[in-house]
Amino acid sequence: MKLVLTQFVTLDGVSQGPGSSTEDTSGGFTQGGWLVPHIDEVFVQRTSEWLDRADGLLLGRRTYEAFARDWPQITDPSDPFAVRMNSLPKYVVTTTLAEGTWNPTTVLRGDPVRTVADLKNQPGRELQIHGSARLGGFLLSAGLVDEVRLVIAPAFIGSGRRLFEQGGSGGLRLTGHEITPSGLAILEYDVIGAAPLAQYEGISASDSGH
């Protein structure tokens, strides 16, 4: 399976609490809900198309517990995500949970690099990371993420956990981009390994291809 990191972020990179003020208040965070004013039909369509490609969800403990609390309560048959979120296999990377309550769930213990690499070797299409920014950033730095999908809200909020806080570096190649009517920037990337570096030698050198 390919490992795909899907994240909603502000312009200043905050990924905490996109959906509501109570979604994730850890660290005293009070500015949750920054994505909601910008949700539109194009956003819903694209994220639904992405979820169609999933054969499993990979989650960290914090996100898993929040999703396991909230998604089973959504029983509206017209909801575009609930049936798939509740029925897809869930894999949770944790050292503290003994078992999952949001079935079907598999708890992954031990070295996350090894356990996730083993999971990627299983047949399937996409193993998707939703939320779980710290886990996603760690696995990206470890070279296990194949694709990154970002939805960037037209807002900056100055506090909260950011997507790329774990250090490390890497290169990305843009494969798709779109702006929704409400101003969300949807960016899709392939992960290409090390971040390319070069020395700036002036406009003329750049134009000549040297």
The phi and psi torsions of 73 (rounded to 5 degrees) equal -80, -10
Statement: residue 205 has pLDDT above 70: no
Residue-wise pLDDT tens digits, 70-105:
999 998 888 889 999 999 999 999 988 888 899 999
pTM value surpassing 0.85: yes
Greater model confidence, 208 or 8: 8
Statement: residue 110 has pLDDT above 60: yes
- Measured CA to CA in angstroms, residue 184 lies from 41, 51, 93, 102 at distances of 11, 18, 30, 31
Amino acid at 172: L
Q: Which helix (H) or strand (E) holds 150?
A: strand 147-152
Q: Are 165 and 20 in contact (CB under 8 A)?
A: no
Residues of the chain with pLDDT > 90: what percent? 71
**Mean pLDDT across the chain:** 92
Confidence of residue 50 (pLDDT cuts 50, 70, 90): very high
Q: Are 142 and 8 in contact (CB under 8 A)?
A: no
Q: Which of 119, 122, 125 is nearest to 107 (CA)?
A: 119
Greater model confidence, 210 or 123: 123
